[in-house]
Amino acid sequence: MTLKDPFSDGIAAFTSEVRNGALTFEQATQHCLKRIDRLNPRLQAFEHIDHKNALATAAAMDQLLAAGCDLGPLMGIPIAVKDIITVEGMPVTNGSLHPTSHINGDEGSLIKNLRRAGCVILGKTKTVEFALGATGVNEARGTPWNPWDLEEHRIPGGSSSGSAVATAAGMCAFALGTDTGGSIRIPASYNGLFGHKTSMGLWPTDGVFPLSPTLDSIGPLCRSAADAMLIHQHLFKDNDESAALSLCGLRLGKPAQVFFDELDEEVQQCFYAVEKRLLEAGAVVTEIELPESEERNAVFPYIVGSELIATLGVDAFNHAKSKMDSVTAQRAAVGLTTTAEKYIRSVRRHRQLQTVAAQKFSQCDAWIAPTVPMLPMALKEIEDGSLADRALLSSRNTQLANLYGLCAVSMPMQHMAAEPSLPCGFQIMMPLNQDTCLLQISVELQKILGIGPQPDLSSLET
């Protein structure tokens, strides 16, 4: 049976279609697995695929629904899981050739919650080694292919690279990612997706490789803000409509420092086109001073590097580094030479920046900026060194939300360009634990902007 993409109109539309009898969970799962079989040899999004258990779970969900047991809107939804998250019965590599699954431990409460919601887990998606990398490049286990250009291998963004590629290519309804310095929002930007960096502590992290317990968060990569809102509301039973915010009168802060430096022309053009739409909808946009943003490189590397080395152990890191991705090994090695004083000062400064952010939000409801300064570049331009330094800017605009202790999203904006080409993202940031408000704003904005096009994979689909 040939199926149209069952998630092209969103998760809510899919759930209605199933409950109206037009489609079954098993058919949708078969469709996703067929797309994986056809597309993954080229796109390399998946590290592990679990055909047997996925189909068995989907069939079981069909039987439950037929018996009158409806688990809700995530029931029977085929999803993918980033390979730094333990899923019982599946391998976990953490993107490395060095064995570290013992660090993750058993399957955590998030995956158990998704199982209870009826989700069908298709498999594990590729990640940058130990989730430390913004470009998506993994020399150890391979770099997924950005589906927006089938002629040129472009970076998918990281570290949740495979999750983004799998979702953008229609191989799953949504995928789990993690975000320590932008690892959900960066690949969302590079793949034309909606990515939700949740407030730290909102999604449980047990069973997840701890890159940086100080900064780690988890969230979904999906097609739209509406899908992200549905996931958020169902997982956290959050149906508080009083949190809804209209775009009219919304106070938006546009940071004066760092976020708008060295933008690709098309990224800049798209951002100002979105800003114009916001102004037309009645939002108020004001430039705000955030001089503390200049401190990114003086704080972030010392927290993350030190905590990764503490997780791996010095001896284990030194043993593994010769087979590690060279950039990941170089970034992690910062932790070997960071003094206790430097680490503690960095953590304290991170906490102070949360206070700074809280004070700045007294002037506005949210901050806006481009998610990433550039369009996805060709992998060869990083490997030959011609754009290696620029590639490091992939996380510049996203790391700051982690350091300021914010929740944040990235939504597609490439279709706002005069002549759209490759994906880029529009970032919205709000204070800790205002995820519902953030998603409501995103839903309203996406109603104006539209979701944007999907990549053309017709040459691989036949």
Could you give the residue numbers annotated as active site? 82, 159, 183
Q: How far apart are CA 410 and CA 134, in angstroms?
A: 15
Which residues make Cβ contacts (< 8 Å) with residue 364, sequence separation at least 6? 251, 252, 253, 286, 288
Helix (H, G, I), strand (E, B) or coil at 220: strand
Count the residues in the chain. Answer: 462
Angle at CA of residue 438, ends 454 and 428, nearest 5°: 65
User: How far lies 407's CA from each of 210, 255, 422, 429, 433, in Å?
Assistant: 19, 16, 26, 6, 7
Sheet of strand 366-370, all strands in order from the earlier edge strand to the far edge: 46-49, 120-125, 78-82, 174-178, 218-222, 194-197, 407-412, 425-430, 366-370, 251-255, 284-288
DSSP track, 118-146:
T-EEEEEE--SGGG--SS---TTT--PPP
Helix (H, G, I), strand (E, B) or coil at 150: coil
Q: How far apart are CA 18 and CA 73, in angstroms?
A: 10
Q: How far apart are CA 406 and CA 199, in angstroms?
A: 6
What tokens does 80 get? Answer: 């993918």
Q: How far apart are CA 330 and CA 248, in angstroms?
A: 47
Q: What's the N-to-C CA distance of the chain in angstroms?
A: 14
In one-letter notation, the amino acid at residue 443 is V
